[in-house]
Structure formats: C-alpha cells, structure tokens
Amino acid sequence: MTEPPLLQMRQISKSYESTQALRAVDFSAVAGEVHAIVGENGAGKSTLVKILSGAVRRDAGQILLDDRLVEIDSPFRAHQLGIRAVYQEFSLVPHLSITENILMGQMPTASFRWLVDWPSAHRQAQDILEGIGFSGFNVKTRVSRLSVPHQQMVEIAKALAGKPRILILDEPSAVLSHEEIKSLFALIRQLTREQSTLVLYISHRIDELFEVADRITVLKDGELVGTVRPSETNQDQLIKMMVGRTLDEIYPPARNGRGETILQVSGLSRQGVFSDVSYTLARGEILGLFGLVGSGRTEVARCIFGAEQATSGEIVLKGQLFRPRNPRIAVTAGIAYLTEDRKRDGLVMTCSMRDNASLASLPEISHWGLLNRRQQTDRIQAKIRELNIRPPHLERLVRQFSGGNQQKVAFAKWLLVHADVLILDEPTRGVDVATKVEIYQIIRGLAEQGRAILLISSEMPEILGMSDRVLVMRGGRVVGELTKAEATEERLLALAAVADKEA
C-alpha cells in the first residue's frame, strides 16, 4: 500500500474483567477506502471501533491520525478529530424530532442566539437526508414514530451532519431493505470518492463485503488474523479465517414431513396496515414470511401474538378459535415471539442475563409467588451451553454483551418456554456466520420436535435456505406462496417489489 495511512492503531489491548477483548491489535487504513472489519461475535471488532470513537478507553496501545499521536478519551474528542460512528445500538433521542436528532449540538440560531431558527433547521435536515438518498421524510416527525430501518437512516444522517473524516458503520445494513442497502452502498462510494472519507464497515453479511469493501481485516478471539483484499480471497476462505473452519453446509436439511395443521389464519386485517392475510402453519414446518420494509409482515406477527389488535379476521390455534387480546394470553396458549428489535421489545438491557432469559418462563419456575432460584439457574445454564453464550456469566448485564450474544439471550428466553408455535422475526440479525449456523440447527431441531415455526427475515438466502414454504407480502397483502422448489431470489424479489416499480 503506497498511500500513507490516515489511521493507525498500534498494539491496542482491552480487557473486561477476566475477558480479554483485544490483545495487541495492529490496524491501519487510508483515506478514501472502505475497510471492513469482520469476525465472530466476541472477536473484538466492536470494541476496536468503540475505542476509536471514544466510547471505550483502551488499556494499552497508541492511536495515530495523519501520523500524529492523538488521545481519544471521549466521544466529544473523537468528534473534534472528525470521527463519527453509527452503532448497532442507536443513539437517537426518541421523543425529539428527526431535525433535532440530526442537528443535535449544531442547531442554527435566529438573530437572538438563544432562539432556534426552526425553518432553517428543518431545511438543513431535509437537505442532509436528500443528499444521502433518503427522501420522503417529514423531518418534524418524532423519531419514536419511525420504523427501525428509518431510524437507522436518521442515525446515518446524524453522523454525516458532522462531515466526518472517518465514518464507522457497525452493522448498518442489518435493518435495511434490499433497495435501501443499494442506496447505502451508493452513499458510501460517494463519500469515499468525492470526500476521501475513510469508512470502517462492520457486517456479518459476507456477500456485502465483496461488494463494498476495498480491504477486509479479520479478528478472532481479540487478535488480528490478517488483512486481505476481496479480489485475493473468496467467501469460504474468509469464513475459515473468521471461525477456523469451513462451513460446507450452512442450512440443515429438513428430515421430517409436515404434521397436522396447528395454526390457521383467515382474512386477518388491521385497518390501514394489512388486509385479508390467510395462511396455515403445520407442526414440524418452517414457514418463511418475506417482504420488503413496510409490507406488513411484522405487524401480522404482532397481531397473532396479541401485541397489536386485528380489526377483522379469524385465528384458529390447535383447532380452537383464538383471540389474543395481549401477549400473556398468547404465551399461555403456546405462542412465542422473538421480536425484530431485541433492545426495544425483547430484552431489558439494564438487567442481567439471568433475569432476561427467564422473563417469559417465570410462571414455570415460581411457586406461590416465590421464585425457585436453583431451578432458574439450572434451566438457564443449560441454554447457555446449548447456545454457546459468551461469557457465560448469569449476573452480567445484557447491555455488556456483544450484539450476537444479546440475540442469543433473547433466543434463550423463548426456548425456555414450551411453545407449540414460534414466531421468529429476524432471528439472526446482528449474528456472525458461525452463530447463524448454530441458530439454524436449533430452529431445524425445534421443527423436528414438532414445533411450528413462522420465520420472518429480510435475508433472502436465509428464507430460501430454511423455509419449507414461503409467503411473500407486499403492500399489506399476501401476494404469493411458493414451495421450496419454486422459491428463488429472483421470484421472491419480483413478487415483493413489482407493485412498487409499477407505481
């Protein structure tokens, strides 16, 4: 590499109690490149970029910008140096507007400096969003009213408002649709080519790296494995660098046939959201539900679980008419729901893994209102081993785990409930390749035990690889049903997007 590095991180080390997150890692990157950082959950990649962004203090090592030693002891200092980060965990203020979030700390003022120039602020926010390819927003809208993908867009716009020299994107595509990912990649190319921005890109989606990255650095167990160019390697070699082995079979095959129908949904509608949704789900079956953002797939799942109320239609569960007025009724009836947003709906981030994992199964381990701690511990430790949650510390706060291990804790919560129907909404979001394989094996194993599984995913390979049948939603309606043999990426995308193109 002939260009001098913009960024050098030398011998960076960091430990959390007895866990060594980083061990003498060397990393460098040049201006105007997209440098991907990959590895399994717990490999140290998020810790490395959090040290760079000032969110975490390193134990040892040096950071140099333009060959000049710098001390980054806070996010404010990182901002002064032109470093901005977009993490998996959003830093938005939900009760404030899009404008206020994007321009936080740099709101334009009127002639009286203590008064905000709101027309100018709204124009600036709108210009930033449109400049990065995200249009159609009412910038006065509260962030809490936005979908998760739209919050991600606002988070990116907020980072770019500071015109960064170094932009850190931690799993930016995890909640975006296919078209939104294309827009994101176009934005990244614009930043690197026109503004010489260094983009540090973290993703578990291996195929993305070969499309967007100039170089890829691999971490494993807190240590540097190596740095390669996409043209010098392939997906299998990259996976071997990450996990120490090849992954010949990612999706486990179905061994058993379908059993009896356990769930029947007929003409289900929620006014203004989705309408006339009908399907059946059998024991031992994995039914994939695919659709672009806004198609209504998650809203259908929430109505079945009682988190939202349908306005019409009928649900029959195990041969009986089922009216889920709230989630408690659904759980009691044998329905579990792994939500797409684990931080907002699935976990209590300030509580321990012990408390989170047992949230849904407390009635099973309580007697006369008293919690059986020994039974709770035994049950959770069994799931920790089954899911390989690291570190296996019951009292550790969930927010202190990596994103992938947080997802495993959310998964463990529902595995501890003996549900007949499992609704899995983006079950592998933010999870590394090796852990995805483990989760796929668990999902297939649950189906072989006779559980009925509704799998919602925005990853087409996941839908195609795991589903026995696939339903496609568009505009709040089911527009197609495909057998495993019929389903291809082209057919799924054509069904999911054709109406939008026609419009």
Residue with tokens 């949230």: 359
Length of the chain equals 503
Upstream peptide bond of 391 is cis (omega within 30 degrees of 0): yes
Cβ atoms of 425 and 338 within 8 Å: the answer is yes
State mean pLDDT over 374-395: 89
State mean pLDDT over 446-458: 93
CA distances from 350 to 112, 248, 398 (A): 41, 38, 7
Higher-confidence position of 308 and 293: 308
Cβ atoms of 52 and 3 within 8 Å: the answer is no
Please count the CA atoms within 13 angstroms of the CA of 163 that sit on its side-chain side: 3
Cβ atoms of 228 and 238 within 8 Å: the answer is yes
Higher-confidence position of 250 and 129: 129
Q: Is the pLDDT of residue 502 over 70?
A: no
Residue-wise pLDDT for 73-116, tens only, equals 999 999 999 999 998 778 899 999 999 999 988 888 876 667 88
State mean pLDDT over 169-179: 79
Q: Is the pLDDT of residue 356 over 90?
A: yes
Fold of the CATH domain 253-334+421-427+452-503 = Rossmann fold (3.40.50)
Query: Which tokens hold the place of 131?
Result: 């400049």
Fold match flag (7-243 vs 253-334+421-427+452-503) = yes
Sheet with 198-202, edge to edge strand ranges: 83-86, 166-170, 198-202, 34-38, 215-220, 223-228
Residue-wise pLDDT for 297-319, tens only, equals 999 999 999 999 999 999 999 99
**What pLDDT does 172 receive?**
84
Upstream peptide bond of 253 is cis (omega within 30 degrees of 0): no
Residue-wise pLDDT for 484-495, tens only, equals 999 998 899 889
Q: Please name the residues in contact with 423: beta carbons below 8 A apart, sequence gap of 6 or more.
A: 301, 304, 305, 335, 336, 337, 338, 453, 454, 456
Cβ atoms of 177 and 321 within 8 Å: the answer is no
**What pLDDT does 46 receive?**
87
**What pLDDT does 135 receive?**
74
Task: Domain ranges for the chain, please list them.
Answer: 7-243, 253-334+421-427+452-503, 341-418
Q: Is the pLDDT of residue 123 over 70?
A: yes
**What pLDDT does 248 receive?**
58
Q: What is the mean pLDDT of the chain?
A: 89
Higher-confidence position of 273 and 17: 273
The span from the CA of 175 to the CA of 221, in Å, is 26
**What pLDDT does 498 receive?**
61
The span from the CA of 462 to the CA of 286, in Å, is 12
**What pLDDT does 112 receive?**
67
CATH architecture of the domain 7-243 equals: 3-Layer(aba) Sandwich (3.40)
State mean pLDDT over 462-490: 93
Which candidate, 246, 185, 325, 243, places its Cα nearest to that of 38?
A: 243
Cβ atoms of 263 and 324 within 8 Å: the answer is no
Q: What is the DSSP string of 310-349?
A: -SEEEEEETTEE---SSHHHHHHHTEEEE-S-IIIII--T
Q: Which of 113-122, 213-222, 233-242, 433-442 has the highest mean pLDDT?
A: 213-222
3-state secondary structure of 489: helix
Query: Which tokens hold the place of 212?
Result: 């967007």
